Amino acid sequence: MTSAAQSRPVVGIFWMVFTGLMFVGVTAVVKYIGSDVPAAQAAFLRYVLGLVFLLPMIKPILAAHLTTRQKKLFWARGVVHSLAVILWFFAMARISIAEVTAMNYLSPVYVSLGAALFLGERLPPRRLIAVIAALVGAMIILRPGLREVEMGHIAMLGTAILFAAGYLIAKQLSGEVSAAVIVGMLSITVTIGLAPFAFAVWVTPTLPQLGWLFLVACFATAGHYSMTLAFAAAPLTVTQPVTFLQLVWAVTLGAVVFGEAVDGWVILGGAVIMASVSFITWREALARRRTTPAVPETKV
């Protein structure tokens, strides 16, 4: 975590704003492609086309001399992340960009629950209240009984849980190998993990579709890189609240470009979830440990 002496909040905020724009770009392109390319195939092509960015990570991966246990953990993360990405692409084609963005904020909340249940970490009363508040925020978005809960909503709930599971696995590896190895192995295992799902529903993509999916890979890679710059420049307590701007941009993009209705309940629910996540992160900063990822870390 960035020390107070090294903290550059303006720089950190700038890079986190840029990160948000990149990830909103990812959602915009995937929304534009829609269901023309099956979700599993679109996810697979996004990772295959993004392997070009993996080249600098090959040397650190080979030099890491991974143990059998580490390889098993990496493959387990690859499996859950593959399923999460498929569900995310599926949801993007069926519900609004704002709903996908707001519900994606739930991943850090599930991480807190998972860390308490499976890693033995404490879940103090204040943090538990924040978790409950975030789940209330999800119910505000879904409003079961007051409107139809679509398959896209259910897919996003699954996406957030699976992303959280992947992060908890990565957390066990973070003290053993470098970030480059963790990112590189994720790209490799997810590409392989998505392959059978993609081939099962394969349709021949057009050149424009391949171009759009390569753009998704570019946006996602740029977003992950700028996110690391944000974390290096300023503490999470400074950068994480900025991620709420993604919801603002997602609502604007959905309304202006895709003609999606602006749903005040989605904005309210997203705000409740984001406030809860920010509180959890603040409490983690006070405790000088981190169990909750910033929202963009759970992106595809």
20/290: higher pLDDT: 20
Instruction: Count other Cβ atoms within 10 Å, centred on residue 151.
Output: 12
- Burial degree of 89 (CB within 10 A; 0-12, 13-18, 19+): buried
Question: Which pLDDT value is given to residue 293?
Answer: 52
Question: Which pLDDT value is given to residue 210?
Answer: 94
The residues near 184 (Cβ < 8 Å, ≥ 6 apart) are 54, 57, 58, 60, 61
Question: Which pLDDT value is given to residue 78?
Answer: 94
Q: State mean pLDDT over 228-245.
A: 76
What are 144's strand-pairing partners?
A: 147
The residues near 285 (Cβ < 8 Å, ≥ 6 apart) are 1, 235, 236, 237
The residues near 164 (Cβ < 8 Å, ≥ 6 apart) are 107, 108, 109, 110, 111, 113, 114, 298
Q: How far apart are CA 165 and CA 171, in angstroms?
A: 10
The three-point CA angle 77-78-81 to 5° equals 80
User: Which range scores top for mean pLDDT: 1-10, 11-20, 125-134, 151-160?
Assistant: 151-160
DSSP string, 2-62: --TTT--HHHHHHHHHHHHHHHHHHHHHHHHHTTSS-HHHHHHHHHHHHGGGGGGGHHHHH
Size (the chain), residues? 300
Q: How far apart are CA 44 and CA 83, in angstroms?
A: 11
Question: Which pLDDT value is given to residue 198?
Answer: 96
